[in-house]
């Protein structure tokens, strides 16, 4: 098994860091979506829903959203 050159090791480390960065960006996006969901659920539970649509879960709400767009 040959040892990697410094340049090859640096390239591998750079690729790994880029992958970590992509995961971090995806987590930030997910955090935003979860915050939106939490806010909507909180509003619906409080009875002060600003959204007149009934709260539906899962595939039904996704289908509704697709047709509204």
Question: Residue 42: what pLDDT?
Answer: 80
Tokens of 58: 């899962």
In angstroms and rounded to an integer, the radius of gyration of the C-alpha atoms of the chain is: 22
Instruction: For residue range 2-41, list pLDDT tens digits in order.
Output: 688 999 999 999 999 999 999 999 999 999 999 888 888 8
The CA-atom distances, in angstroms, between 59 and each of 47, 56, 62, 63, 66 are 24, 9, 5, 6, 11
**Better-scored residue on pLDDT, 5 or 66:** 5
Question: Residue 61: what pLDDT?
Answer: 59
C-alpha–C-alpha distance, residues 65 and 69, integer Å: 6
Question: Residue 5: what pLDDT?
Answer: 93
Question: Residue 63: what pLDDT?
Answer: 58
């Amino acid at each position: 098994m040959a040892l990697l050159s410094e340049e090859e090791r640096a390239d591998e480390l750079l690729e790994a860091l880029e992958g970590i960065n992509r995961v971090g960006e995806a987590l930030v996006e997910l955090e935003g979506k979860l915050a939106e969901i939490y806010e909507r659920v909180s509003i619906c539970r409080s009875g002060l829903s600003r959204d007149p649509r009934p709260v539906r879960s899962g595939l039904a709400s996704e289908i509704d959203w697709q047709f509204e767009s």
